Structure 1
Amino acid sequence: MRNRLAAGAEITGPAVSVFWHLGELGEGQEWRVTLRTSESSRDRLAALVAERHPWDSPEVTATPIEWCLDTYAEWVERTTAAPE
């Protein structure tokens, strides 16, 4: 958040996670972090998350926004804009 690549974050969990890893079935706890960012900051934010995450292949995905209030879109763009 301090680097302003995301305008906001929502953290939910813990959730039970069941997964395959190195050929074995595993179970553990996970937390979902939803980061609100702009298209122009998306790739830099994804790279930062991947770099700092303890897993080799963290789930980093993007969900396009089909519609939102103009004021919300402006807030996200303004908040994540690169410093001049």
Structure 2
Amino acid sequence: MTLALTVLTTTDSAEKAEELARGAVEARLAACAQISGPVTSVYHWKNAIETSQEWQVFFKTTEACYDTLEAHIARVHDYDTPEILALPVVRGSAAYLAWLAEETSAG
């Protein structure tokens, strides 16, 4: 069975979030991408605590696509160090997981 992942990144505008989502889905690196936001992020950056408004992008993908998806996000993202986190999907409906695997290029 294919291991499903949810991969998360953030960006500073709804437009950039949609570009990231659309690019990954068009390249079949993710079967789906959902955008949420704005959210408030508080983080350390260059010896200061920053607060900013960001949009989260959640990519639904497979473990087989992860490395290529990570490289894609890193290449097109405009942050110096973009958040790229992969969370394993512990359980899911068989039909959804089959669709996810079928819609990704590694499926």
1:18-42 CA distance string (max 9 Å, x none): 1111111211111110000011111
Length-normalised TM-score, structure 2: 0.72
Tell me, what secondary structure is at the counterpart of 2:88?
coil
* Larger strand share, 1 or 2: 2
Unaligned runs of 5+ in 2: 1-24
- Aligned twin of 1:75: 99
Alignment of 1:2-13 (within 5 A): 2-13=26-37
Alignment-mate amino acid for residue 93 of structure 2: L
Alignment of 1:1-84 (within 5 A): 1-82=25-106
* Larger helix share, 1 or 2: 2
Length-normalised TM-score, structure 1: 0.90
**Bigger radius of gyration among the two:** 1
Conserved 8 A contact 2:64-2:106: no
Aligned identity (percent) is 36
Unaligned runs of 5+ in 1: none
Separation of aligned partners in 1, 2:40 and 2:87: 22
Calculate the aligned-residue CA RMSD, in Å. Answer: 1.4
